[in-house]
A = this chain, B = another copy of it.
């Protein structure tokens, strides 16, 4: 684990090809590809993705985006927070601490974090100190939101 580090991923054809190995490849990646093909974005421009390489291979990734305080519906007091999505480690590399490394990277910003985990990953998120947010239909619809609270930040009370 010592030899690997988390790095910001740049939008280019190589990265977008590597993304195809991840289960949660979807509209976001397709839109990045189109933007690149249509020159709406430059090659090697910044993406919201962070990843871990093992040698030449991208083996884990996640997306992170800072949501501004004024749009916060989860925390009290209202606060800038990180939305974390598409956390995924390729099957062969699972159970070796790479997912943990990515989440710890996100935590290092010391901002509250919100994520919507995939089914069956609750054990992992609990181990990482995340807790179930109270469900609020008009905000969450089909999501199962989990949050992580740094010192001094609380969950917004919705009842």
Spell out A's residues near B (CB within 8 Å).
23-24, 26-28, 30-31, 40, 48, 63, 65, 67, 83, 85-86, 116, 119, 132-135, 137-138, 140-145, 159
Which residue on B lies nearest to A38, using beta carbons?
B159
The copy count of this chain in the complex is 2
**With the chains together, A119 CA to B86 CA distance in Å?**
13
Report yes or no: B144 in contact with A23, Cβ–Cβ below 8 A: no
A24 touches B86 (CB 8 A): no
Q: Are A27 and B83 in contact (CB under 8 A)?
A: no
Most B CB contacts (10 A, CB to CB) among A83, A86, A135 go to A135
Alpha-carbon distance A65/B138, docked complex (angstroms): 8
Asked if A27 and B144 sit within 8 Å, CB to CB, the answer is yes
Closest 9 CB pairs of A and B: A85-B142, A31-B135, A27-B135, A26-B144, A27-B144, A85-B141, A28-B135, A83-B141, A86-B142
